[in-house]
Amino acid sequence: MPNSIDNKRRQKETLYQFFAHIGKALSNPHRLELVDLLTQAPRTVEELAAVAHMSIANTSQHLQRLKQARLVLDEREGVYIRYRLADDAVARLWQELRAVTEQQMAEVRDALDAYRDRRYEFEQISMAELRQRLQNGDVVLIDVRPEVEYAAGHISGALSFPLEDMAQRLNSLPPDLPVVAYCRGPYCVLADQALALLTGRGRQVARLEEGVWEWQQAGYVLSD
């Protein structure tokens, strides 16, 4: 009965279409940037549009797409609608996608070096070492992401120093101690910019390449 065989084929096709559907949702740079931002903190459409430099209508469209693929959830909050990642599995998927991309394509390095052009000016510090030095108290750790993201969860012991208003608050940084800065992770320039500012003032600095999510994945402690 060739019919039942055709039928089986169709069913298999159907199954694979679901997987492809998620693949499609991940096939647009803007959507990936949205996913990345949502990895840091839940946000409203307005906020996402602002941070990602997109029109609100466009942002909404892309969010709809992600929502349809069940990668994000939305929740009404008064007059706003706040989006969040549907699940930690989505963050893992995004992380695997980055890992594969980075490993497979040397061009990514180049693109990253272009984007984070001061990357190699700063010493890097590992998560393990940072944790050690935090315990010793011989280092200041600052989170330079916007306050929303800090509020949604940050490395335990980190101070919030959003890049945006860092210039005005430089004096409130504990003096003398070396400063470690972190932001969203390896694809984020905020910490680089903060460190540039600080070295200009003669501070000793280092960057933690990882972000909050990686910190938590590694089994270290967060606060919120």
CB 90 to its own copies: min, Å: 6
Q: Give the one entry of DNA, its own copies, none that residue 220 binds, where binding means its C-beta sits below a cut-off of 5 to 8 angstroms depending on kind.
A: none
Q: Please tell me what DSSP assigns to residue 139.
A: S
Question: Which amino acid, residue 59?
Answer: T
3-state secondary structure of 175: coil
CB 143 to DNA: min, Å: 24
**Does 9 interact with its own copies (rule: CB under 8 A)?**
yes
Ranges of H-type helices in the chain: 2-25, 29-40, 45-52, 56-68, 88-104, 106-115, 127-136, 147-151, 166-169, 190-200, 212-217
Q: Give the one entry of DNA, its own copies, none that residue 151 binds, where binding means its C-beta sits below a cut-off of 5 to 8 angstroms depending on kind.
A: none
Asked about 188 being catalytic, the answer comes back as no
Q: Which is nearer to its own copies, 6 or 77 (CB)?
A: 6
**Does 24 interact with its own copies (rule: CB under 8 A)?**
yes
Question: Which amino acid, residue 57?
Answer: A
The one segment of 105-113, 124-132, 137-145, 213-221 that binds its own copies by CB under 8 A: 105-113
Residue 29: other Cβ atoms inside 10 A: 7
The one segment of 33-41, 78-86, 179-187, 213-221 that binds DNA by CB under 7 A: 78-86
Residues 6+ apart with CB under 8 A from 196: 118, 121
Cα distance between residue 57 and residue 71, in whole Å:
19
Position among 1, 2, 29, 165 found at the interface with its own copies (CB under 8 A): 29
Which residues of this protein are in contact with DNA, per CB under 7 A?
24, 27-28, 30-31, 44-46, 54-58, 60-65, 74, 76, 78-82
